[in-house]
Structure 1
Amino acid sequence: MYLEKFKLDGKTAVVTGGGQGIGLACVEALAEAGARVVIADRDAKAAEAARAEMGGKGYQTDVVDMDVTNSRRVSEVADQLASWFGKVDILVNNAGIARSETPAETVTDEHWLNVIDVNLNGTFWCCRAFGKHMLQAKAGTIVNVGSMSGFIVNKPQEQCYYNASKAAVHHLTKSLAAEWGARGVRVNAVAPTYIETPLNAFVKSNAKMYDAWIGGTPMARMGQVEEIASVVLFLASDAASLMTGSIVLVDGGYTCW
């Protein structure tokens, strides 16, 4: 009875930024559970490499070229995929950027707008475009990738723009959940700690920052992409059928201190 709830056979899922890191791990987790997964990424080379990797593991995936900051393109892709597959059951809004280590007083307009555009606007464009089809079908699940940075202020790196964008993603998640809950669409978010991805590779050469990150984490380590993907799978599945508007912290205990 219970394991059946995690299965996604016959479902179609879309993962933004699915070409690498957490996104690619989510692609694999959803595919392993039985979903047909579409890798939506603006990096065509990374997306094709991801598809090849998944194919090598026996999973069939599709690729679409999509920049989440281009609302028109996002709508086109949502309409196209709904036409191809009949419906999109699961959307994972993973695409995001950080551009950390810039103090607030020196942040340029371009820097601020770029991070907000990708992390917040891009998440909303995708929720809006795919959500319309889910609402028409009276069924669907959206999982947004937020961050523990939406709850706390990271140290020692300055990144007010990133923190603000992820806090906004969390409240957007709750707002959409409240609007769409009675109409069959669930919206939740996962809020990771520092994860070993290409985005965070730089920290290994910055001993002070690495020590601050690990020293502030009760579990005394960074997370792995599959540890986030596992939670995304749970939220996307019927195992989380009573959950909407939840922001699930997966932070190794970081926010305890």
Structure 2
Amino acid sequence: MFDFSGLVAVITGASSGLGVQFARALAAQGANLVLLARRVPKLQAVADEVRDMFGVEVLPVGCDVTNLDQVRAAVDAVDARFGRADILVNNAGTGGVAPALDMTDEQWDADIALDLTATFRVTREFMNRLIKRSDCGRVINISSMYGLVGNTTIPTSAYHAAKGGVVNLTRALAAEWAKDSVTVNCICPGYFETELTAEALKTPEFQEYVKQWVPLGRQGKAGELNTALLFLASPESSYVTGTSVVVDGGYTCV
């Protein structure tokens, strides 16, 4: 079970953080990888590391997912190298912090563009050309527990709105593409350390908050999202679609 040998997995936002963890998890199960990100030197380093560790094919492609031309060029590159895509992990994202009354239109638009619109565009372009060719089409969107609830600690309404949109976009695409035997699911992580969150998570104040409000009493550890990813991406999960798997230490259950 969970053998991904010969499958092609595309991961956005793959130059750091959760994207690197997802790349290692899928490669460890035998998947060939396409890694997309803007920072090409970091992306190349990740590609070299994963290739050396797991012996799979890895294609790094510089791509700003908010740029439609670059997304289409990435699809061309994957088509030329592999001819199909089996798994798409929409991981690229951001999270601007600003009180709602102070948030500018530019801040709002930037968050929506990367966290929601880019997720739709990347999925549309890969579905049109490559995922339909697969016998095991899997789309996995990375939302957030903040796509399901509000919060009283960090003012980030645009992020909440965008990630909530990703959750319902997942449902809509799952319903629309079920006839094509393509599943579309979502992961909603809780507090995990990434480049965007590392500084805040390490403060004593935030650690105390986590101990008080997360039932398991801690933030997520590296690798604790992998089982959710592999479950939703696997050929065995062909009857699971339109769902969101929450990995948050229990934050949203209280």
How high is the TM-score relative to the length of structure 2?
A: 0.94
Are the aligned partners of 2:139 and 2:182 in contact in 1 as well (CA < 8 Å)? yes
Report the counterpart of residue 21 of structure 1 in structure 2: 17
Query: How many matched pairs?
Result: 252
Structure 2 residue ranges without an equivalent (≥5): none
* Compared CA separation, residues 204 and 179, structure 1 to 2 (3 A): closer
SS of the aligned residue for 1:179 comes to: helix
Q: Report which stretch shifted further, 164-173 or 200-209.
A: 200-209
SS of the aligned residue for 2:249 comes to: coil
CA distance in 1, matches of 2:203, 2:107: 23
- Of 88, 91, 97, 1:91 maps to 88
CA distance in 2, matches of 1:112, 1:52: 36
Are the aligned partners of 2:86 and 2:134 in contact in 1 as well (CA < 8 Å)? no
SS of the aligned residue for 2:183 comes to: strand
How far has the Cα of 1:239 moved from its partner?
2.6
How far has the Cα of 1:129 moved from its partner?
0.5
1:178-237: per-residue Cα shift (whole Å, max 9, x none)? Answer: 000111211001000000222211124533333223321000111123111221111111
Structure 1 residue ranges without an equivalent (≥5): none
Matched, 1:49 2:7: no
Q: Residue 242 of structure 2 aligns to which amino acid in structure 1?
A: G
Identity %: 37
Matched, 1:173 2:170: yes
How far has the Cα of 1:16 moved from its partner?
0.3
Are the aligned partners of 1:32 and 1:59 in contact in 2 as well (CA < 8 Å)? no
Report the counterpart of residue 190 of structure 2 in structure 1: 193
- The 5-angstrom pairing of residues 104-253 of structure 1 reads 104-133=100-129, 134-137=131-134, 139-253=136-250
* Compared CA separation, residues 168 and 56, structure 1 to 2 (3 A): same
After superposing on structure 2, the runs of 4+ consecutive aligned residues of structure 1 that deviate more than 4 Å are: 136-139
1:37-58: per-residue Cα shift (whole Å, max 9, x none)? Answer: 1111111122012123213413
Q: Residue 209 of structure 2 aligns to which amino acid in structure 1?
A: A
How high is the TM-score relative to the length of structure 1?
A: 0.93
Are the aligned partners of 1:143 and 1:189 in contact in 2 as well (CA < 8 Å)? yes
1:88-112: per-residue Cα shift (whole Å, max 9, x none)? Answer: 1110000000122x10000111111
Report the counterpart of residue 32 of structure 1 in structure 2: 28
How far has the Cα of 1:138 moved from its partner?
6.2
CA distance in 1, matches of 2:133, 2:50: 31
Q: Residue 12 of structure 1 aligns to which amino acid in structure 2?
A: V
